[in-house]
């Protein structure tokens, strides 16, 4: 078990500690070891500097650092001028704050029946034993506010722990000097061709020759990208266009904002260097956020083809059946043929419960409607520096493999539908490895779309002698044979 702390979060803690790179070794986790003061002391006593991290179901991450030993035999306070409390995320949003110790003589408190306790109950998670219930732990500690630590920037613990003591994980890491070694697996976790010029040429040729089923009577597949703000949806559109154009594309607007840069349902037709259009559209959508998020009904309209191209999303006003722009009888070509969820590998632990709930609900809707699904895992270069240095190592990276598993667990989709990619960001020239990785993902996404459409066509053929209301809803009126009208 590697622990839930991301590399970005570890880097932030290293900056606060201020003594150079650290190796984080997971000593204790309540989901693995049980929430027990006795077990905590058995695993964590006399281990030197440690960081304690709490995670709650609302997507908040916080904790404390001490440079001195935990030791139940001390039976009292220990002094540590380097100790501090911290906040990393709040309700799924990155919220970085450090709370320095103001009474170093009472930085931590040791007792056999107590878990990791900072200050004079400033951060007091639990005592004795707490049992897990339905995947969470309701801790029995009682935090006091701003007694031994300077809680500048927050007015109460509610602004850190969402006003409750429920957590789904508590971890304690031992910190030692030196950069954490990059873990590479002996065997690739997925069998794919090498990211070479030959592979790129073969992928390009294969995708260019791929056509939609003739019976479908449509130009190409519609691949709709859906995901949180900043996850890389627009950047992936640019990456795919770059791979086929032979130069870095900037057609899709990108940027880092609290709200989505993309505000319209924007389809991108991808062209080759010879200006030939390919048989799919990449459809960019407004990013999901806690501040401005579309209603789930609108996403369902989007998947079913009721929302027209270039429709401007407005989180305040939902598109209704009475709207003149509402596509009442969408054709098969108007519908989404594969929903592609786009998630940032470096911020999986920061996904709020609200966003996850919406993504899961949309996943179940797609399953009921027979719409194929895939996941793009972006920013993989941020979770493993070796991958950032050489993309060829991506399928031997333990960190990337762990992130793929984590996403599979979060959304309940199989791992072979999850595809790691690196988008163009600072590059001004094309890179064959970036292109290869993107086209490997695209090819699988198109295969998924093809399978979904084939299923719809088989249903059409099996009901050709009698009109089927559900089929008309799925394919549009022109998908039903004249003989069945």
Domain borders along the chain are 7-177, 197-484
Residue 474: predicted pLDDT: 47
Alpha carbon 298 to its chain's center: 21
Residue 484: predicted pLDDT: 36
- Report the CATH fold assignment for 197-484: Rossmann fold (3.40.50)
Helices 296-304 and 353-369, axial angle in degrees (round to 10):
30
Q: What Å distances lie between residue 350 and 115, 152, 185, 228, 363, CA to CA?
A: 25, 23, 26, 11, 20
3-state DSSP call for residue 323? coil
User: Is the pTM here over 0.95, yes or no?
Assistant: no
Residue 438: predicted pLDDT: 98
Give CA–CA dist 318/210, Å, rounded: 36
> Per-residue pLDDT for the chain (485 aa), expressed as one digit of tens each?
568 888 789 989 999 999 888 999 999 999 999 999 999 999 999 999 999 999 999 999 999 999 999 999 999 999 999 999 999 999 988 999 999 999 999 999 999 999 999 999 999 999 999 999 998 999 999 999 999 999 999 999 999 999 999 999 999 999 998 876 656 777 899 999 999 999 999 999 999 998 876 666 788 899 999 999 889 999 999 999 999 999 999 999 886 665 666 778 999 999 988 888 899 999 999 888 776 556 788 889 999 999 999 988 776 667 777 778 889 999 898 999 999 999 999 888 778 888 899 999 999 999 999 999 999 999 999 888 788 889 999 999 988 998 999 999 999 999 999 999 999 988 999 999 999 999 999 999 999 999 999 988 887 777 765 554 544 444 454 444 443 33
The sheet with strand 108-110 has its strands ordered as 76-78, 108-110, 117-118
Classify strands 221-226 and 338-344 as parallel, antiparallel or unpaired. parallel
């Amino acid at each position: 078990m590697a622990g839930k702390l991301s590399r970005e979060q570890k880097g932030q803690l290293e900056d606060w500690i201020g003594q150079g790179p650290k190796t984080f070794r997971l000593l204790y986790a309540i989901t693995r070891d049980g929430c027990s003061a006795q077990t905590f002391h058995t695993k964590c006593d006399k281990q030197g500097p440690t960081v304690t991290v709490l995670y709650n179901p609302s997507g908040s991450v916080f904790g404390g650092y001490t440079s001195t030993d935990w030791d139940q035999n001390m039976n009292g306070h220990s002094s540590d001028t380097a100790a501090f409390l911290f906040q990393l995320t709040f309700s799924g949003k990155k919220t970085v704050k450090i709370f320095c110790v103001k009474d170093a003589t009472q930085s931590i408190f040791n007792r056999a029946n107590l878990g990791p306790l900072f200050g004079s109950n400033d951060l007091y998670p639990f005592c004795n034993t707490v049992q897990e219930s339905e995947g969470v732990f309701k801790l029995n500690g009682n935090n006091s506010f701003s007694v031994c630590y300077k809680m500048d920037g927050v007015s109460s613990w509610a602004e850190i722990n969402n006003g409750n003591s429920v957590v789904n994980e508590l971890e304690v890491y031992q910190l030692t000097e030196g950069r954490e070694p990059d873990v590479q697996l002996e065997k690739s976790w997925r069998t794919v061709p090498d990211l070479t010029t030959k592979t790129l040429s073969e992928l390009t040729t294969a995708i260019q020759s791929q056509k939609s089923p003739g019976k479908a009577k449509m130009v190409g597949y519609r691949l709709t990208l859906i995901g949180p703000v900043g996850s890389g949806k627009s950047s992936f559109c640019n990456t795919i266009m770059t791979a086929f154009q032979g130069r870095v594309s900037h057609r899709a607007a990108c940027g880092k904002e609290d709200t989505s840069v993309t505000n319209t349902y924007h389809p991108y037709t991808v062209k080759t260097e010879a200006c030939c259009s390919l048989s799919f559209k990449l459809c960019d959508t407004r990013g999901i956020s806690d501040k401005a998020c579309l209603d789930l009904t609108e996403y369902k309209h989007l998947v079913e083809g009721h929302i027209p191209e270039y429709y401007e999303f407005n989180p305040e006003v939902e598109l209704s059946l009475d709207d003149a722009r509402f596509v009442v009888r969408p054709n098969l070509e108007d519908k989404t043929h594969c929903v592609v969820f786009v998630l940032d590998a470096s911020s999986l632990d920061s996904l709020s419960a609200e966003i996850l709930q919406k993504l899961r609900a949309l996943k179940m809707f797609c399953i009921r409607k027979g719409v194929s699904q895939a996941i793009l895992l972006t920013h993989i270069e941020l979770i493993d520096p070796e991958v950032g240095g050489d993309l060829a190592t991506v399928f031997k990276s333990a960190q990337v493999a762990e992130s793929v598993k984590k996403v599979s667990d979060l959304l309940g989709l199989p791992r072979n539908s999850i595809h790691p990619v690196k988008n163009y960001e600072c590059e001004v020239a094309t890179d064959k490895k970036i292109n290869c990785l993107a086209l490997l993902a695209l090819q699988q996404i198109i295969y998924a779309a093809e399978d979904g459409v084939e299923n719809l066509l088989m249903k059409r053929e099996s009901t050709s002698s009698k009109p089927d209301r559900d089929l008309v809803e799925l394919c549009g009126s022109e998908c039903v044979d004249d003989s069945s009208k």
